[in-house]
Structures are given as C-alpha cells and as structure tokens.
C-alpha cells in the first residue's frame, strides 16, 4: 500500500530535501508541495493525501492553526 504525502514547507531547499528523502521509499508518494500555509487546505481537498508533512511556521497560516470553517 502506498502512502500519499503532501509537503507544506516555505523553504524551497527543505521542501526539495524532504521530497528527495521520501521518494527513496517505494511505499511513499509525494503527491504535492505547497509553500504557504493558506494553500494547504485547498491542496488537501484536491489531492486527498494520507499524510501532510507541514512546517509549523509558514506564511499565510501556521501548521498549528485550526482549519478555517467551510463556507456554505
């Protein structure tokens, strides 16, 4: 079973390093990368990853803020 991962990291070098490291495992697939915290919710809705590896200090929204409520 493949585990799908969304990377959320604003430092490009770190995001690239995480992606390279994770891609060495055949059971892990990086399905997307975002560089702003406020892009994470949309990416999760669109890509439906099993796991989000998220920096806790990012522009737009931190990795520990609750998800904004859905608009009706």
Query: In this predicted model, which residue has the larger pLDDT, 67 or 33?
Result: 33
39 dihedral zone (left: phi>0; alpha: psi -120 to 50; beta): alpha
Annotated domain spans of the chain: 3-54
Helical H segments across 1-72, by residue range: 12-23, 40-47
- Confidence at residue 38, expressed as pLDDT on a 0 to 100 scale: 83
Query: What pLDDT, on the 0 to 100 scale, is given for residue 58?
Result: 80
Q: Look at residue 70 and tell me whether its pLDDT is greater than 80.
A: no
Options 3.40.50.2300, 3.40.50.300, 3.40.309.10, 3.40.50.720; CATH for 3-54 is: 3.40.50.2300
Residue 71 has pLDDT above 80, yes or no: no
Backbone φ, ψ for residue 19 (5° rounding) = -65, -45
Using one digit for the tens of pLDDT, what is the confidence trace for 6-59? 999 999 999 999 999 999 999 999 999 999 888 888 999 999 999 999 888 787
| pLDDT value of position 66 | 63
- Give whole-number Cα distances, 12 to 7, 30, 44, 70, in Å: 11, 15, 19, 29
């Amino acid at each position: 079973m493949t585990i799908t991962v969304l990377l959320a990291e604003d430092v490009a070098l770190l995001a690239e390093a995480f992606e390279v490291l994770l891609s060495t495992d055949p059971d892990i697939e990086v399905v997307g990368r975002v560089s702003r915290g406020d892009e994470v919710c949309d990416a999760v809705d669109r890509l439906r990853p099993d796991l989000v590896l998220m920096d806790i200090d990012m522009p737009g929204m931190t990795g520990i803020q609750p998800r904004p409520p859905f608009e009706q």
